[in-house]
Amino acid sequence: MIFLLSNRGPALVGFWPFGFLVALPLGAIVIAALVLGFLGGLAAHLPKRFAAHRRANKAEKRVTELESRLAAAPLQVGDRQPTILP
């Protein structure tokens, strides 16, 4: 907000295909560009983030399933408990 108030000087912004100019405060132009860049980066990042989250949830379910199967499996005659060394 301070940046916007400090840079109130008008700057001409042209919208090329339409052929008209608009005078906007320089601070507003810079802040709008930053917000649009942030939203574009967020839009590019979110699909990958959601896919990674789905893969992690699937892997956690698989680990839980394998751990329960391992706990339910009976020990066979030749099996020994592992020796823990210091």
For residue 53, how many other CB atoms are within 10 A of its CB? 10
**The pLDDT value given to residue 37:** 97
pLDDT at 78 over 80: no
**Helix (H), strand (E), coil (C) string for the chain:** CHHHHHCCCEEEEEECCCCEEEEEEHHHHHHHHHHHHHHHHHHHHHHHHHHHHHHHHHHHHHHHHHHHHHHHCCCCCCCCCCCCCC
pLDDT at 67 over 70: yes
Band (pLDDT 50/70/90 cuts) for residue 79 is: low
Average pLDDT over residues 34-47: 96
For residues 13 and 9, give the distance between their C-alpha atoms in angstroms, rounded to a whole number.
Answer: 13
**The pLDDT value given to residue 27:** 87
